[in-house]
Amino acid sequence: MSDNKVSRRKFIGNATVAAGAAATGTLAAPAVHAQTPVTIKMQTSWPSSDIWMDFARQYIERVERMSGGRIRIDLLPAGAVVGAFQVLDAVHDGILDAAHTVPVYWYGKHKAASLFGTGPVFGGSATTMLAWFHQGGGKEFYRELTQDILGLNVVGFYGFPMPAQPFGWFKEPVTTVEDVQGFKYRTVGLAADLMQEMGLSVAQLPGGEIVPAMERGVIDAFEFNNPSSDMRFGAQDVAKNYFLSSYHQASESFEFLFNRDVFDSLDDDLQAILEYGVEAVSTANTALALDQYSADLQTLQEEHDVTVHRTSQEILDAQLQAWDELIPMLEEDEFMKRVLDSQREWVERVVFYELTNAPDLTLAYEHYFPGKLSL
């Protein structure tokens, strides 16, 4: 047995020789050149100062790190190449490689675009509807709309279930439907149809044009999306009454668009990084949003004398009634009817679970922070 023993020193020595041979073999092999990074030109629909540019940067950080530097994304703000509402056309045409946007910005091509962002509210939150996109058939409907119906040369992914958007900014408090009759109001997508049904006149403007339009009297009131974006726009300088809670845009998510030719030219693993990077950044965006939106809402109240209200029950009821009027008209389109049927079926089942399972968070909040919710 002593003849067959291998000493630790001999074993290490043999391993070292083998390693040296392997190293020699590696050096003798042909040199492998590092892959040149793929640069993707992505424009957003947001001004450079908007917090949503920070959300887009979170995506870029994850994609570039997961790809080991094989993908580089050149991020541009709205207007750098095309206007905020033109990014879809630019990606389709190959003027841009990618865009960070929302589908309501191209609902002029087909109103069904708004069903993937700000459609009728059957009781589901943005999280509910993002789940519908991934698990309830939404992804297949989106492909049918973009590829088969519109013939667009794009690939799209969805992430970040946005908190419900505020009813918006008003110079004076509004509590009844009569209070807002005839208002010139900024919104986008099917929310524009909704507000017109309620007796408002609507202007569809990108975010960077909202406050100047308010200053010039082009609009009387407006919504964009959240306290952070609104404060960065300077909303607090043109109005002091901020109404949270609304059914006009309660379930939106970001749309990550890519030119199909560019996307298909990438290796499979890079395609996967671009796609699943959206799911990764959805969590990061949500965390940043909850932090910044809440902090900036507090700043608006404490430093800018903004009065925060909850939208009245009368106005919320009127919004639901307006949706009731709009939905049959939307369903005259066969494709939209199929999408809405799918959404209703999903919400009826999923939200029953969500609501039945959810504890009363208001009760718990008021227990620990009494009086804070008396808006």
Helices (H), the chain: 8-28, 51-66, 87-93, 126-135, 138-143, 177-180, 190-197, 210-215, 227-233, 260-264, 268-303, 313-330, 334-357, 361-368
What the block records as the tokens of 343 is 């959404």
Q: How many CA atoms lie less than 13 Å away from 329 in the CB half-sphere?
A: 11
Instruction: Report yes or no on 233 lying in a domain.
Output: no
Buried-exposed string 190-206: b where 16+ CB fall within 10 A, e elsewhere: bbbbbbebbebebbebb
Give SS3 for 241. Answer: strand
| Cβ atoms 94, 59 nearer than 8 A | no
Instruction: Report yes or no on 103 lying in a domain.
Output: yes
Instruction: Report yes or no on 100 lying in a domain.
Output: yes
Question: Which pTM was predicted?
Answer: 0.88
**pLDDT score, position 35:** 73
**pLDDT score, position 6:** 40
Domain count, the chain: 1
Instruction: Report yes or no on 143 lying in a domain.
Output: yes
Question: Tens-of-pLDDT digits for all 375 residues of the chain?
Answer: 344 444 433 333 444 434 444 444 444 444 444 578 999 999 999 999 999 999 999 999 999 999 999 999 999 999 999 999 999 999 999 999 999 999 999 999 999 999 998 899 899 999 999 999 999 999 999 999 999 999 999 999 999 999 999 999 999 999 999 999 999 999 988 999 999 999 999 998 888 899 999 999 999 999 999 999 999 999 999 999 999 999 999 999 999 999 999 999 999 999 999 999 999 999 999 999 999 999 999 999 999 999 999 999 999 999 999 999 999 999 999 999 999 999 999 999 999 999 999 999 999 999 999 998 876
Instruction: Report yes or no on 258 lying in a domain.
Output: yes
Sign of CA dihedral 159, 122, 351, 356: positive
What's the CATH number where 133 sits?
A: 3.40.190.170
Domain range for 113: 38-161+251-291
Instruction: Report yes or no on 286 lying in a domain.
Output: yes
Instruction: Report yes or no on 82 lying in a domain.
Output: yes
Give SS3 for 289. Answer: helix
